[in-house]
Each structure stands twice: as structure tokens, then as C-alpha cells.
Amino acid sequence: MATAIQIKELLKTHNDGNDQRFYAVAMQVAAAEAKKGNKKLAQDIRDLVDRARIQKSNATIGKVLHVAAPRGEAADLLEAVQDNRKLSDLVLNKSLSERISRIMGEQHNLSRIKANGLKPRQRLLFTGPPGCGKTFTASALANELGVPLFVIRLDALITRYLGESLSKLRIIFDAINNSKAVYLFDEFDSIGYSREFENDVGEMRRILNGFLMNIEKLTSESIVISATNYGEKLDKALYRRFDDLIEFGLPNDEEIWKTIVQLLQGFQTTKLSQNKIVQAARGLSYAEITRACEEAIKDMIIHDKKKINSTMLLNAVTERRLFSNH
């Protein structure tokens, strides 16, 4: 059974509201019982810890998290992003959906994965065209896990002064290792470009090497996501440093229609010309389709109509296509 010291630590962490430490001590108790041969009791404790983690996470789903703004030097480098996006709001193909679900499954079973000497996927590389769900997915992952989303401000990280960028990078990874959250390095190609490209600036190379060194030494349960619209420009050495590469793409016909139907939920429509609308929307990103639906809704409102019709939607899609081609 648990020692007096462990019981004392469990009570202290519970009173302090330190859930992560509480779970860690509980897992120590489980490990000790397993060594004594009490395997069923040990497994029961592990299952209770996993259930507690999931319930704690689910309690925050759909709620706006109160995220304390980063302080000190980190305040200029990290931007806290708050919204109520959920994974169920994403329209993804089967393969992509399964890979995202696998990441969530590992996060919900951290204790058992670590108890077996394994590591969860937490260093992720998102690639794909603009507006195809990379940032949306990062935000939804944070909400589903009940942790904040911090976007790294690369414009503040990259400076012209020798060595200053590396110091700022250390500040970012100190935050990553000390505060559990989802951290997004958006437009990662700006520092992770291939050596084959001509603009190989010395300071940028130092930043990339610093990033690789720090991400290898990741010690926290934070998820680090690097997102780029230009996966082909990334240094090939980067790929093996990530736990998973997730490639986003433009929606196919089925995904286009599913996105439109989902976005127009709650609004009345006439019988929409599915084939014409889908054909008009081919080649548009999820973000552009979203904007088109929003424009159709506004068109209905300003013209005092009760329903959205095919003409409104087709006009909005056509406008978005013209806009995206410029």
C-alpha cells in the first residue's frame, strides 16, 4: 500500500490543485504495487488516473479557457489564442481524421504509455496549402486537451543581431518545458528552409540548429506543432526530428459539400444545387469555402430574405475564386 510520505504528498498536491503532480504520485504508488505483485491493484490505479485525466480534459471542452498572458521576456514571443473550436467541427478525410484521433488517444493515455517506456506523439509537423485546417487543428487539439494554445511570434524571434535570436528561442523552449500547452510555430518554413535554397543566412541557420537541439531535448508534456504551407522547402533533416508528419490538402467534392452543410446549419435554405455548387467550389480551401458561406448568409440578411438559395451561394463562391486567384 502507499507509504505515509506518498499519502502526505497526495493530500498536499490535491489541496494545492496540482493535478499533474497528483497523477505522478499516484502512478508511483501503482508502480510500487506492481513490484509487490499486486498487478490488479496497480492497473486499477492506472485506470483511475487515466479516467481522471480524461474527465478533467472533457470538463473544459467547448469552454473558453482563461489563459494568463505570458509574462516577462516571453510576452513578446508568445501570443495566447482563445476560441471554442472542436475536433468535431473539422471536416477531414478518413486517413487524416484517424491520425488526429491517434494523437488524441495517446494524449488521453499518457500514463500508461509512459509506464511502458514509450513516448507519445508530441512533436508534430503540419504541411499543406493555406486555409486547409492546420491552425484550426492546432486550436481544436488545445481545446480538446483543456490546455492553452500559444502561437510563437516568429517576427519577434528573428532579429538581425548575432546570437539574440538563439537567446529568444531558449526563452520559448523554457516556456514549453515549464507550462503544458499546445505551441504553434506557424510559417515554420521561414526558419526551416532547405540548405539547397540560396538565401541561407547564417543567423537563420543558427536558429534552425537551435530549434533542432531544443526539440530533441523536450521534457514536458506540451505539444509542439510546426506548420508550413511549403513542405517542399523544408530541410530534409527536419523530418526525422518530428514524431509525426500530417499533410493537409484541399477538400474533395464530398468534403466540400459536407463543409457547406455544416456551416449553414441553423439557417434555412431552399433546395440547393449540390452539383453546381460543388463544381464551382473545386480547388478552394476550407477557409475560402467558409468565407463564401459567410458571405451568402450576409447576403440573405441584408436583402431581408428568409432562406439562402443556390444563387447566393454560387455568387459567393465565384467571388472567393476571383479573390483567391489574385
Tell me which DSSP letter residue 16 carries.
Answer: H
User: Cα separation of 290 and 292, whole Å?
Assistant: 5
pLDDT of residue 30: 72
**Length of the chain (residues):** 326
User: Cα separation of 161 and 165, whole Å?
Assistant: 8
pLDDT of residue 40: 80
Residue with more model confidence, 208 or 120: 120
Q: Which residue has the cell 499486486?
A: 38
Q: Which residue has the cell 439562402?
A: 308
Contacting residues for 250 by C-beta, under 8 A, at least 6 apart: 129, 132, 283, 284, 285
The side-by-side arrangement of strands in the sheet containing 78-81 is 78-81, 149-152, 182-185, 223-228, 123-127, 244-247
The segment with the largest mean pLDDT, out of 21-30, 147-156, 301-310, is 301-310
pLDDT at 170 > cutoff 60: yes
User: Cα separation of 63 and 85, whole Å?
Assistant: 9
Task: Determine the average pLDDT of the residues in 114-140.
Answer: 93
Domains and CATH numbers, the chain: 4-58 (no CATH), 72-247 (3.40.50.300), 253-324 (1.10.8.60)
| 226 to 12, 90, 154, 192, 290: CA distances (angstroms) | 37, 19, 12, 10, 24
Banded pLDDT at 190 (limits 50, 70, 90) = confident
Task: Return mean pLDDT, the chain.
Answer: 82
pLDDT of residue 46: 75
Banded pLDDT at 302 (limits 50, 70, 90) = very high
pLDDT of residue 67: 45
Which cell numbers in the block locate residue 80? 495566447
Lowest mean per-residue pLDDT among 19-33, 128-142, 213-227, 308-322: 19-33
Q: Which residue has the cell 487524416?
A: 96
Span 44-66, pLDDT tens digits: 777 777 777 656 544 443 333 34
pLDDT of residue 262: 92
pLDDT of residue 155: 78
pLDDT of residue 293: 95
User: Cα separation of 89 and 218, whole Å?
Assistant: 30
User: Cα separation of 116 and 122, whole Å?
Assistant: 17
